[in-house]
Amino acid sequence: MVAQFKIPGQGGTQVEVPIPTGIPTQLQGGLQDSGKAILQTGLSLLFYGAAILAIVFILISGIQWITSSGDPGKISSAKKKLLYSIIGLIAVAGAFLIFNLVISILGKNINEVLMP
């Protein structure tokens, strides 16, 4: 005898639903797909976060330069921050492009790998 339970259906009628007797044998998506999604999301966040951080530092150094009031020490500090921020932004963009190039050479679609 197969056990059943009832749930409300359309119009308030009771619908009998059989209780599953077997054990599911296959997970949908699988562990490999989950790991791939976690890696894609993590790398996307890393690249985009680094790019946003570099842009914020560019803005901060620009504001520092504007508010330096002609003080050579403050201007020099702002120039260094601006230079390092631009170098960081170029490095992040270069790493992003190199990573996508390697992935495309290995046969994966670039949009499939990193684009959310």
Residue-level pLDDT, tens digit, the chain, 116 residues: 455 566 666 666 777 767 767 666 665 555 555 666 677 778 888 888 998 999 999 999 999 999 998 899 999 999 999 999 999 999 988 988 887 777 777 766 555 555 54
Tell me the per-residue pLDDT of 65-94, one tens digit each, with 9 for 90 and over: 999 988 999 999 999 999 999 999 999 889
Domain ranges, ordered by start, for the chain: 31-113
Strands 4-8 and 14-18: antiparallel
Q: Measure the N-to-C terminal CA separation of the chain; round to a whole number of Å.
A: 49
- 55-59: which pairs have CB atoms within 8 A and are 24 or more residues apart? 55/85, 55/89, 57/81, 57/84, 57/85, 57/88, 58/82, 58/85, 58/86, 58/89
Tokens of 101: 């190039």
Single pTM value for the model = 0.58
